């Protein structure tokens, strides 16, 4: 009998932590299905991605460890996907520990450790220095510092 594993994620700013997680999930079964959050669903979750959905799902589809990539459009589609694809294992990173325990009624649920010191959130914060709004904030701070220094000249 085939063991099918499923996971979900946004996979924005794809990095080694994503790849490591997907490879570890694939090693748990014969087939790995990955649900990639659409831009619309991310908006509902309050997330704004750097990379658009069409590109993110193509990146996931291009990975050797992924057998099928599907759109994730809503929170409650997981039970239907598990039934439709005859999933044996639902897996997520440990940062989601406990959030999907209700799926244990339908399949085995596993939470795998995250890759240390790697996350899209960290990359996004690092890249913030390149945003126009942040450059404006830096300019305001520099102007304030300059005005203070001028008082002492």
Whether 19 has a pLDDT exceeding 70, the answer reads yes
Number of domains, the chain: 2
Separation between Cα atoms, residue 59 and residue 142, nearest integer Å? 40
Show the DSSP H helices in the chain as ranges: 16-26, 39-44, 53-61, 78-84, 120-127, 132-151
Show the DSSP H helices in 36-131 as ranges: 39-44, 53-61, 78-84, 120-127
Separation between Cα atoms, residue 88 and residue 125, nearest integer Å? 36
Q: pTM for the complete prediction?
A: 0.78
User: Looking at the structure, do residues 108 and 123 belong to the same domain, yes or no?
Assistant: no
Positions marked active-site: 45, 47
Kindly report the CATH number assigned to the domain that includes residue 24: 3.40.50.620
**pLDDT computed for residue 151 by the predictor:** 76
User: Looking at the structure, do residues 68 and 81 belong to the same domain, yes or no?
Assistant: yes
């Amino acid at each position: 009998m085939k063991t099918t594993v499923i996971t979900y994620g946004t996979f924005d700013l794809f990095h080694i932590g994503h790849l490591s997680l997907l490879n570890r999930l694939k090693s748990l079964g014969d087939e790995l299905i990955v649900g990639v959050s659409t831009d619309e669903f991310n908006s509902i979750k309050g997330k704004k991605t750097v990379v658009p959905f069409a590109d993110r799902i193509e990146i996931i589809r291009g990975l050797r460890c992924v057998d099928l990539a599907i759109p994730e459009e809503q929170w409650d589609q997981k039970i239907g996907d598990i039934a439709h694809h005859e999933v044996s294992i639902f897996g997520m990173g440990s940062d989601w520990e406990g959030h999907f325990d209700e799926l244990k009624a339908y399949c085995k649920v596993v939470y795998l450790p995250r890759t240390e010191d790697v996350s899209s959130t960290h990359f996004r914060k690092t890249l913030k220095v390149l945003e126009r709004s942040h450059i404006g904030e830096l300019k305001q701070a520099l102007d304030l510092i300059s005005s203070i220094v001028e008082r002492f000249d």
